[in-house]
Amino acid sequence: MSRSQKTGFSKLLTIDDAMRKFFSYGVVHRIQTVEVPIVSSVGRVLASNLVTNIDLPPYDRSAVDGFALRAEDTLRSSENNPISLKIVDVVEIGTTPKVPVGRLEAVRISTGAPRPEGADAVVMIEHTAQKKDQVRIFNPISAWKNMIRKGEDVKVGDLLLEEGAEIMPQDVGMLSALSFSSIKVIRKPRVAVLSVGDELLKEGSEQTYGKTVDINRPAILSSLLQDGCEPLDLGIVGDDFGIVEEKVKEALEKNDMLLVGGGTSVGSKDIVPDVLDSLGEPGIVAHGLAMRPGKPAGLAILNKKPVVLLPGFPVAALITYSIIARPIIFRLLGSENIRNTGDIVKARLTRKIDSPPGIREFVRVVIRNKSPGFSAEPVTATGASILSSMVRSNGILVVPENIESIRQNEPVEVRLIRPLK
Amino acid sequence: MSRSQKTGFSKLLTIDDAMRKFFSYGVVHRIQTVEVPIVSSVGRVLASNLVTNIDLPPYDRSAVDGFALRAEDTLRSSENNPISLKIVDVVEIGTTPKVPVGRLEAVRISTGAPRPEGADAVVMIEHTAQKKDQVRIFNPISAWKNMIRKGEDVKVGDLLLEEGAEIMPQDVGMLSALSFSSIKVIRKPRVAVLSVGDELLKEGSEQTYGKTVDINRPAILSSLLQDGCEPLDLGIVGDDFGIVEEKVKEALEKNDMLLVGGGTSVGSKDIVPDVLDSLGEPGIVAHGLAMRPGKPAGLAILNKKPVVLLPGFPVAALITYSIIARPIIFRLLGSENIRNTGDIVKARLTRKIDSPPGIREFVRVVIRNKSPGFSAEPVTATGASILSSMVRSNGILVVPENIESIRQNEPVEVRLIRPLK
């Protein structure tokens, strides 16, 4: 008899209690850093605070195409009585101004070009009239108008991004501006995925009577790819204590985390929990969670590394991945900010939902855009084995432990698991 | 004088008009397909409808651990008067039942194991009492209880996913269940990115007086990576008609799309629009858009391929990318479903915003979680050149063309450009 058969999940831990207990062992730490080119740093996690070491822009420059001049020269200009300035130079972007701007002088300047000495404002070309080497200005301009000052964008010592931030395209631009060509990020977590079960066939196999093609391993490997991990596929092994033990040991030597699926229910061949408990302390720290689907999910710590036991049913495995495994992955990345995988929409429930107390339930729903607003229709096939319900639904509605039912037409918040059409 | 100086953006096209005009040339079509392993198909776009060719499950199977039996045998059983059945076989998952279930017989069965002939229901093990080769059943059970029927999940001919859908992890699981090892998806769009400007230095260069490190190209290349494209970095070229012409021609031969940045404003060295108009029909179809920032954005068609002119200012370039270039990329992918890049949050505006009529304005805001609900604070530095405003803000508030102001405390919807802390 397996461990779980003995205990029979008599005590279900709430998700929060299980996670708290798991993290209390203090073994999940941020992993190492790697240096990557800035362009490919997008989506990665910043390894240290980004503090600027230069001013941006690094020099005063024009914000427009026009004439750089001394603002005080324009004080008395008007539509009827424009002031005329002598054009003493032309500064294109990418060049260096050579001639300073003296009283009643101006320099033709391009957007982005550096401020010539003496000038303290730029009049837009549209607001001037040029005639040979003279330019007429029709309105007074205030000092520093249409100029971007040195350090106006960022100053030396500014904290721009905090350690643990996910790098976005705009940050890549900023890194370039700050003269970085590469940046330190957290290395991709190496997460091993193992399926256990005599009944499992490798993907691409024909469905065979009595056997079943492994659904969870490919789905979980692809989830890991999506979450910026480096998944290691340990394949499928049969229900053999020795082989599972060997695979688990191997996985924990070379990887940051292990996800092991199948054989974690109260089935007669349920050897995974026994293997995990035989390999050292503390072994399994939670098994049997107050969630639906996902009750057979579990958490273990071996070799000071996190192990998540995924339920065998595909829908339960996917929900356990996102609710239990993802927060651990984000700790490995040193990021408390768990990336969202879909928008949240507010919708009205099309029919009443009942949920047992003390259980967090994940209800698959179909969100439809029905004026006014969205409707959320619970998908009828609620069996954890009904994979098509995950493909046909487009959102997950979470019913917390303390809610026993949600009435028809009540407003709910639903996280999309597929973009709305 | 450049083309844009001549026209001076006297007529700004609305974003919608510009896109309509651009798409009316009918040159943007879905690109080719490629076959990829199912695990790495996550995030890719499905090339054709996914219609099932097998039933799932492919045979009746048990949904629980228990005893497979004939439901009619249990009709008269009760707590006080249980029925006793003879255990004639054990079927583990992964094996094939050999012994049929006759009258007053039962087979010990594991979750997922195939239904033995004759049996039409499974009683959960927890609800039975076993003694040697006899099992006692305490309650009547209805036919097909705790059985998952052949085809209950999906049936031959079911349309599961439509062409153009983004493949999610749950779909990868379904593909595996349907015996796929690889799947046809749309090839990654090849998008070339070119920066033009004598003033531009390659990323990693020190900031130099009069020059500026290229911000847009790295930011746009990383946006393309994030959107599932294969970016081609054409680097930086100076403001030289011949060289720009050559680069544009080269880009359009080998790629699906070109994004060209810098030199598209009304600056004196603005050669990009002239080059694009010299290379054939129709050339530029829109230049000068009623958006802020992003007015100098433009659209061209050359060699029947889309070209987007990105404004020189980084914030404008990034917004133009997401508003103008992304919808074109998603057309190349054959997907009308433009992937969202961030959640939408509802927030209250902390201060009034004014926006010119007829212009679609993109206001950077800082979203804060202030009970009750979120607040959206417009970022003061509104100059398109202030890149730090994109790094420091976490959302973009769109003010449509027909709205001239939004009052303080009004509720607004903001798309996050960075996850909330």
Let me know whether A119 and A200 are in one domain: no
Does the structure show a pLDDT above 70 at B211?
A: yes
Is the distance from CB of B191 to CB of B326 less than 8 angstroms?
no
Alpha-carbon span A101 to A106, nearest angstrom: 6
A383/B176 Cβ within 8 A: no
User: For residue A149, what pLDDT band results from cuts at 50, 70 and 90?
Assistant: very high
Could you read off the pLDDT of A227-264 as tens digits, one per residue? 999 999 999 999 899 999 999 999 999 999 999 997 54
Question: Are A317 and A216 spatial neighbours (Cβ–Cβ below 8 Å)?
Answer: yes
Interface probe with B: pick from A222, A310, A380, most Cβ of B within 10 Å: A222
Choice among A156-165, A177-186, A296-305, B268-277 with the minimum mean pLDDT: B268-277
The pLDDT value given to residue B373 = 87
Residue A385's pLDDT band, with cuts at 50, 70 and 90, is low
* CA–CA dist B219, B390 (Å, integer): 12
The DSSP symbol for A30 reads -
At residue A269, the pLDDT reads 62
* CATH classification of the domain holding A195: 3.40.980.10
- pLDDT tens-digit profile of B101-134? 999 999 999 888 999 999 999 999 999 999 999 9
Please report the pLDDT score of residue B418 as a whole number.
87
Can you tell me the distance from the alpha carbon of B188 to that of B40, in angstroms, rounded to the nearest whole number? 13
**The pLDDT value given to residue A420:** 81
**Is A364:A390 a contact under the CB 8 Å cutoff?**
yes
Q: Do A172 and B222 touch (CB under 8 A)?
A: yes
pLDDT band of residue A381 (cuts 50, 70, 90) is: low
Residue A157 pLDDT exceeds 60: yes
- pLDDT band (50, 70, 90) for residue B6: very low
Portion 131-190 of B in contact with A at CB < 8 A? 148, 152-154, 158, 160-161, 165-166, 168-177, 179-182
Looking at the structure, tell me whether residues A173 and A288 fall in a common domain.
no
Average pLDDT of the residues in B2-30: 82
Q: Is residue B108 part of a domain?
A: yes
Any idea what the CATH number is for the domain that residue B167 is in?
Answer: 3.90.105.10
Asked whether residue B171 carries a pLDDT value surpassing 50, the answer given is yes
Residues B215 and B263 in one domain: yes
Instruction: Give B137-170 pLDDT, tens digit per residue.
Output: 999 999 999 999 999 989 999 999 999 999 999 9
CATH of the domain at A103: 2.170.190.11
CA-based R_g, chain A, Å = 31
Task: Compute CA distances B16 → B23, B98, B323, B401, B411, whole Å.
Answer: 11, 67, 10, 10, 25
Domain edge (last residue) among B280, B304, B332: B332
Same domain? For B200 and B260 the reply is yes
Which 211-270 residues of chain A touch chain B by CB within 8 A? 211-223, 225-226, 231, 233, 238-239, 265-269
Q: Domain for residue A159, yes or no?
A: no
Q: Is the pLDDT of residue B3 over 50?
A: no
Residues near A373 by Cβ (< 8 Å), separated by ≥ 6? A346, A347, A348
What does the pLDDT read at residue B208? 84
Between CA A322 and CA A317 the distance in angstroms is: 9
Is B157 inside a domain boundary?
A: no
Q: How far apart are CA A82 and CA A135, in angstroms?
A: 10
Q: For residue A158, tell me if it sits in a domain.
A: no
Indicate if B236 and B323 belong to the same structural domain.
Answer: yes
Mean pLDDT confidence for A383-400: 85
- Which domain covers residue B401, as residue numbers? 344-416
Range from A100-104, A201-205, B415-419 that averages highest in pLDDT: A100-104
Q: Has residue A1 got a pLDDT over 80?
A: no
The CA R_g of chain B, rounded to the nearest whole Å, is 31
Residues A203 and A259 in one domain: yes
- Put simply, whether A36 touches B (Cβ < 8 Å) is no
Question: With 90 as the cut, is the pLDDT of residue A328 above it?
Answer: yes
pTM of the model: 0.90
pLDDT over 90 (residue A76) = yes
Per-residue confidence (pLDDT) for residue B412, from 0 to 100? 95
Same domain, A19 and A93: no
Band of pLDDT at residue A349, cut at 50, 70 and 90: very high
Query: Residue B404: pLDDT above 90?
Result: yes
Give domain status of residue A105, yes or no: yes
CA distances from B237 to B152, B207, B293 (A): 61, 18, 24
Residues A214 and A121 in one domain: no
Half-sphere exposure of A14 (CA within 13 A, CB side): 11
**Residue B370 predicted with pLDDT over 90:** no
Check CB contact under 8 Å for B199 and A165.
no
Residue A280 CB partners (closer than 8 Å, separation 6+): A302, A303
Give me the residues of B, 350-379, that contact A with CB < 8 A. Answer: none
Highest-scoring range by mean pLDDT, A185-194, A387-396, B9-18: A185-194
Establish if B35 touches chain A: CB-CB under 8 angstroms.
no
Q: A90, A120, A148: which is the final residue of a domain?
A: A148
DSSP letter string over A347-369?
Answer: EEESS-EE--TT-EEEEEEEEEE
Is B212 in the same domain as B304? Answer: yes
Report the residue of chain A nearest B172, measured CA to CA: A219
Q: Residue A408: what pLDDT?
A: 95
Name the residue of chain A whose CA is nearest to B206's CA: A179
Angle at A383 between CA A381 and CA A389, to 5 degrees: 50
Residue A6 confidence (pLDDT): 42
For chain A, what percent of residues have pLDDT higher than 70? 93
CA distance B225 to chain A (A): 8
CATH of the domain at B392: 2.40.340.10
A145 to chain B, minimum CA–CA distance in Å? 12
Pair A51, A173 in one domain: yes
Integer Cα distance of B106 and B90 in angstroms: 9
> Of B310, B332, B354, which marks where a domain is finished?
B332
**Which residues of chain B are within 8 Å of residue A218 when distances are taken between CB atoms?**
38-39, 172-173, 175-176
d(CA A389, CA B154): 10
Summarize pLDDT for B37-91 with one digit per residue, the tens.
999 999 999 999 999 999 998 899 998 899 999 999 999 999 999 999 999 999 9
Phi, psi of B237 (to 5 degrees): -125, 155
Is the pLDDT reported for residue A401 higher than 80?
yes
Mean pLDDT over residues B251-260, rounded?
96
Q: Alpha carbon of A344 to those of A354, A396, B170, B346, B397: distances in Å? A: 22, 10, 18, 11, 17
Running DSSP on this structure, what letter comes out for residue B188?
P
Domain count, chain A: 4
- B80 and A402 in contact (C-beta within 8 Å)? no
Closest CB to B391: pick one of A41, A160, A219: A160
Does A209 score more than 90 pLDDT?
no
Mean pLDDT of A396-413: 95
Task: State what percent of residues in chain A have pLDDT above 90.
Answer: 77
> Is B293:B362 a contact under the CB 8 Å cutoff?
yes
Distances (CA, A) of A334 to A28, A35, A258: 10, 16, 18
Q: Are residues A244 and A182 in the same domain?
A: no
Residue with tokens 């631009």: A173
pLDDT given at position A421: 72
Same domain, B216 and B111: no
pLDDT computed for residue B266 by the predictor: 43
Give residue B184's pLDDT: 98
Domain assignment present for A368: yes
Q: Which of A345-359, B237-251, B373-387 has the least mean pLDDT?
A: B373-387
- For residue A162, which amino acid is it? E
Output the pLDDT for position A4: 43
More confident residue, B261 or A93: B261
**Helix, strand, coil share of chain A (percent; to 5):** 20, 30, 45
Q: What percent of chain B has pLDDT over 70?
A: 93
Asked if residue B155 is part of any domain, the answer here is no
Q: Report the residue from B179, B417, B420 with minimal CB separation from A213.
A: B179
| B interface test, pick of A42, A62, A176 with most B CB neighbours within 10 Å | A176
pLDDT at residue B207 in the model: 81
Q: Where are the alpha helices (DSSP H) in A132-282?
A: 169-177, 216-226, 241-254, 272-278
pLDDT tens sequence across A271-294:
899 999 999 999 999 999 999 999
Q: Is B156 among the domain residues?
A: no
pLDDT, tens digit, for every residue of B328-342? 999 999 987 666 666
Mean pLDDT, chain B, whole residue set: 91
**Spatial distance between the Cα atoms of B271 and B37, rounded to a whole number of angstroms:** 45
pLDDT band at A383 (very low <50, low <70, confident <90, very high): low
